[in-house]
A and B are shown apart, each in its own frame.
Chain A
Amino acid sequence: MSARKKTLLKVIVLGDLGVGKTSLMQQFVNKKFSHQYKATIGADFLTKDLTIDNKTVSLQIWDTAGQERFQSLGVAFYRGADCCVLCYDVTNEKSLNNLSSWKDEFLVQSNVSNPQDFPFIIIGNKIDVDESKKIPSLQKKLLNITNNQLGGLNYPLFETSAKDSINVETAFENVARMALQQEELNGASRNDMNDDYHDAINIHLENDNSGCAC
């Protein structure tokens, strides 16, 4: 009876400026990479169809700007997301430390009903760069962040390179799978819709004048 073909999934990508969010999108959606840096203004919307466990899904990816002045773009960006991707740059320690404030920002703005179970995924980008440029003792710091911080960021983590197309596909397949789960969870939790058709309207013909102005 339903006219629905594909499941639509809204995915938000967050992270500091320059960590490579747009590059990851371009690699994932268009298989392109550019060395030139063009800061995102506001947000970009990209679409990609994927097949997950024999199910076609359409990812509506909201690639947001890392620049601070766009961070007040408001609830529209966060509202009703099915999955949130938190990105950092493996050569930029500050971007790693900011992950938890991106998460907090998301939870505050999106007002999701189940913050504990909401699917987040972490992507560490630019692993193609020279070992020397990477954050010193990255693994240890990662462990710290995922386990010890208030609230914790105990989420699946993928290390990627948008430049060399390493792990990008895998990461987003996981994003899609988690988003799909979230969407189905919500969709399934209320199958009693039919009950609403049985609500009778209470109409008092004798003494009720509120119904209309005639």
Chain B
Amino acid sequence: MISDDKPLGRPPMLQSKKSTHSFLSSTAGLNPASFLGTDATTAVTLASSDQAEIAIFEEGLGLAKTTLSRSSRSVSPQPSFMVLPPQLALDPLPFVELLHDFVNTSIAKTDDTYKGSKPFNILTETEEDIDESYLEEKVHISKKGEGFTAKLKQFFILSSAGKPIYSMNGDDDVLLGYSGLITTIVASFEDGTDLLFRSISQNGFRMVVMNKSPLILVAISRVSYELMLDLKLLESQLSSVYNYLLAVLSAPVITKSFHNRMNYDLRRVLSAQDLKTLDILTSMLTFGFSDTTDDENKSYTVDPSMFISSLLDDAVQCARLSSTLRAKLDDIFVSCKRLKVNLPQSEATPFLQGKLYTLETTKLLASDLLFAFLIYDNKIVSHLHPKTHCLENKDISTLLLMLSQLSPAGESKNVQEEPDLWFPICLARFNDSGFLHCYVRHLHLPNLSRPLTLLLLSGNKNSFFEMKQSANYIFAKICKSKTLSSSLPEELAQGYLPLTSVLKTPQVKHFIYKRRKANQYIMDPLTFSKDTFENIVDSMFILYLYTALSSSKSEEVRVGASMKKLTYTRWHLKEGFTGFLLADEKYELYCLCKGFVTSLVLIEQSLRIVNWCENYRKRLFIGPGVQF
């Protein structure tokens, strides 16, 4: 029998120490007050930073970890409380039985001290209540100097000379001191060595540095769930920030700006919009929401997907669509690429055909088109790319970020009236030294709340009219096709239905399913419908649970030819949650259940999800997209 109704166990996440360190103070041995006002900010030498654990890169050798003292580790590894008896992993038990044993052993191992009656602060793992003023003080971005050190998360972009370029929080007065301090710490480590400064970690505090001379990017976190994982998460965030900076400036512009003048102030070439986008990016990446307040209304967008994407190694989200419809859209892309248009008489060029010169009177309309996307609600519907090139997910995410910051789609139902957008963008992972040119237009389909967005990326800055004509062609094809015009809106709208009800897995409250090879994921749609404050907390709660789940120690078992990774975790927060992770070389399933479900139900339902996702993988994931 499965005994799942044991008293509540104490979740391992609650065991980490209360963090009372203020920003940087514990690392540098400084008085935090000295950062404020005009008091001097003292640079530290190696000798005074003897408490922290510092990680540095050794060139060519990957990571070398130098522990400067025997201090406690910043993040205690999640204790394993779900070890399979060794013989279990070896016995060729049927998979399902094996899962049951695993879950039951895990449940038996949980210790039962914490009753979870007190409020639990997911940001700091303390009992401090999270209310609106708490968020205001610790979470929301503020460009004021006062209260700077209370923030749980900081992002900085500095020049190597120590001049601030961007900071998530704080004003110039505070930042000038910090910038000097950070550059000094980094440079003191790196000077005269081949080492790259990577991070400082201490109980409840972590600073991660990315040195991209002439720039230094820094993330500092005291957010509990960000500290559960290794450095990878914060490093991925930093590279997203850097990728955005490159997208608007490109690497040569940054290098040239500082060439022969290290005192250059890069803010000269950044617009107010760029800085605002960085605010949205940094807040989304950390807390799963961003401030979208305009002149009149205070408002926030809650969306944990950017955080989840970096948790899942930059996986991107796809829109659910039947393979017939997707194939039709793909065909339209390919046919657009092959489309020939008549040349005006004057431009006709003679060419050799066999032994005869013929006058070439047509040309390929979209010869400069490199990549095309159809996007719905930030999810990829269809994607075209050349045989020889494809885009990395980091670049696609940057593109989507840019897209979300462009002027919102008009409400016009008339295709012709939708404005064309045309802007240069440097997709750095693809090519960081030049710009592609991006054409954007929205298409409003009947009965859909959001528009379908077409993105056409061209290598030629003079191809605006060709791209516009291509867009006309693509939209006309979509609207003319009976199947597409009727089924596309219907199917896209279905994307908002909770999958857990489609799949009849009522115990599973939410899940994420990722295909590893394509590095794409789908998740149960999340709807946040309460007031802003509650939505923000709910969203952060989801980030907390998924991060805790993916950082909990997992067990590997062999099933036939494949290695399965299993993690089972229970949280005694609120009404209690159960988390279950099942992964192998093909997929990763993360699921969250409310309450403590029996292993029978948990396993039956999660296997149903896996089977369903694998069966329908063609409609759930677009894979590499269509080639030309």
Contact = CB atoms under 8 A, between A and B. Distances in A.
B170 to A, nearest CB: 12
A103 interface: no
B176 interface: yes
A129 interface: no
B386 interface: yes
A73 to B, nearest CB: 7
Contact of B263 (A30, A63, A182, A201): A182
A120 interface: no
Interface stretch (A87-95, A167-175, A202-210): A202-210
- Which 6 pairs between the two chains have the least Cβ-Cβ distance? A80-B161, A76-B187, A80-B262, A44-B40, A113-B260, A74-B191
7 contacts: A2-B272, A4-B267, A41-B42, A199-B250, A201-B431, A209-B388, A211-B388
Contacts of B260: 113
A163 B294 CA distance: 50
Interface stretch (B18-26, B69-77, B177-185, B230-238): B177-185
Q: Which of A25, A73, A74, A196 has the most CB of B within 10 A?
A: A196
Contact of B388 (A1, A70, A77, A208): A208
A37 interface: no
Contact of B45 (A42, A45, A202, A207): A42
A113 B264 CA distance: 12
Contacts of B460: 200
A88 B191 CA distance: 28
Contacts of A200: 434, 459-461
Contact of A47 (B38, B269, B271): B38
B40 A197 contact: no
A142 interface: no
B137 interface: no
Interface in A48-100: 48-49, 58, 60, 62-63, 70, 73-77, 79-82
Given A76-B188, A193-B253, A203 B163 contact: no
Contact of A42 (B42, B160, B389): B42
A212 B263 contact: no
Interface string A181-201: 011001101100100111111
B370 interface: yes
Contact of B161 (A49, A79, A193, A201): A79
B480 interface: no
B184 A43 contact: yes
B44 interface: yes
Given A6-B172, A8-B164, A200-B434, A45 B177 contact: yes
A45 B40 contact: yes
B184 A77 contact: yes
A212 B434 contact: no
Interface string A129-153: 0000000000000000000000000
Contacts of B433: 199, 201
Contacts of B269: 2, 193
B268 A187 contact: yes
Interface string B177-208: 10111011011100110000000000000000
Contact of B38 (A46, A74, A183, A198): A46
Contacts of A205: 370, 386-389
A4 B275 CA distance: 10
Given A81-B263, A187-B265, A199-B433, A214 B250 contact: no
A67 B466 CA distance: 66
Interface in A114-130: none
B188 A10 contact: no
B261 interface: yes
Interface in B560-598: none
B9 interface: no
A76 B166 CA distance: 19
Contacts of B265: 4, 7-8, 183, 187
Interface residues of B, number: 67
A62 B41 CA distance: 9
Contacts, number: 194
Give the size range of A's interface with the partner.
35 or more
B511 interface: no
A198 B252 CA distance: 12
A108 interface: no
B256 A196 contact: yes
B435 interface: yes
Interface of A: 1-8, 10, 22, 25, 29-30, 41-49, 58, 60, 62-63, 70, 73-77, 79-82, 110-113, 182-183, 186-187, 189-190, 193, 196-203, 205-209, 211-212, 214
B252 A199 contact: yes
A188 to B, nearest CB: 10
B388 A60 contact: no
A7 B265 CA distance: 8
B422 to A, nearest CB: 12
Contact of A58 (B39, B176, B263): B176
Given A3-B267, A3-B272, A8 B163 contact: yes
Nearest to A28: B38
A211 B430 contact: yes
Interface string B152-173: 0000000111111000000011
A144 to B, nearest CB: 31
Contacts of A45: 40-43, 176-177, 180-181
B136 to A, nearest CB: 24
B489 interface: no
Contacts of B461: 197-198, 200
Contacts of A46: 38-41, 177
B424 interface: yes
Nearest to B462: A200
B503 interface: no
A214 B517 CA distance: 11
Nearest to A182: B263
A95 B250 CA distance: 46
B32 interface: no
Nearest to B174: A47
Nearest to B272: A3
A10 B162 contact: yes
B270 interface: yes
B43 A42 contact: yes
A190 B263 CA distance: 14
A44 B43 contact: yes
B341 to A, nearest CB: 19
B386 to A, nearest CB: 5
Q: Which of B181, B267, B272, B275 has the most CB of A within 10 A?
A: B267
Given A8-B176, A60-B162, A3 B188 contact: no
A30 B40 CA distance: 10
